[in-house]
Amino acid sequence: MKLLSLFAVVCFLYQCASDPGDGLVFTHILFRHGERNILTPYGPNDPFADVKTYWPEGYGQLTSEGRRQQYELGEYLAKRYKNLIGENGYHKNNIYVRSTDVDRTLMSAAHTLAGMFPPLGKQAWNKDLGRKWQAIPIHTVPEVDDYVLYTIRPCPKYKTSYKAIFDTPEVEAVDREHAGLFKELTKFTGNPITKMSQIHLLYQTLEIEKSKGLNISQWAKNLVYKGSAMEKLINRKFGFYAKTKEMAKMRPGYLLKEILERFSKKANKTLDPDRSMYIYSAHDTTIAHVLNALNLYSKIWEPHSPPYSACVFFELHRNKGKYHIEIYYKSEQGRDKKPLQPLKLLCGTKCPLDEFYRLYSDIIPTRDYDIECKLN
Bridge partners of 96, per DSSP, are 278
Q: Which of 46, 146, 284, 354 is catalytic?
A: 284
Question: Measured between alpha carbons, how far is 141 from 258 in angstroms, rounded to an integer?
Answer: 15
Which sign, positive or negative, has the C-alpha torsion 302, 304, 306, 307? negative
Q: Cβ(115)–Cβ(70) under 8 Å?
A: yes
* Preceding amide of 154 cis, omega within 30: no
Q: Which of 28, 33, 111, 289 is catalytic?
A: 33
Q: Cβ(67)–Cβ(122) under 8 Å?
A: no
Amino acid at 103: D
Cβ-count burial 347-375 (b if 16+ within 10 Å, e if not): beeebbbbbbbeebeebbbeeebeebbee
- Annotated active-site residue 284? The verdict is yes
User: Which has the closest alpha carbon to 338: 326, 330, 347?
Assistant: 330
Question: Measured between alpha carbons, how far is 302 from 296 in angstroms, rounded to an integer?
Answer: 9
Beta strand 23-32 pairing with 351-352 = unpaired
Catalytic residues: 33, 284
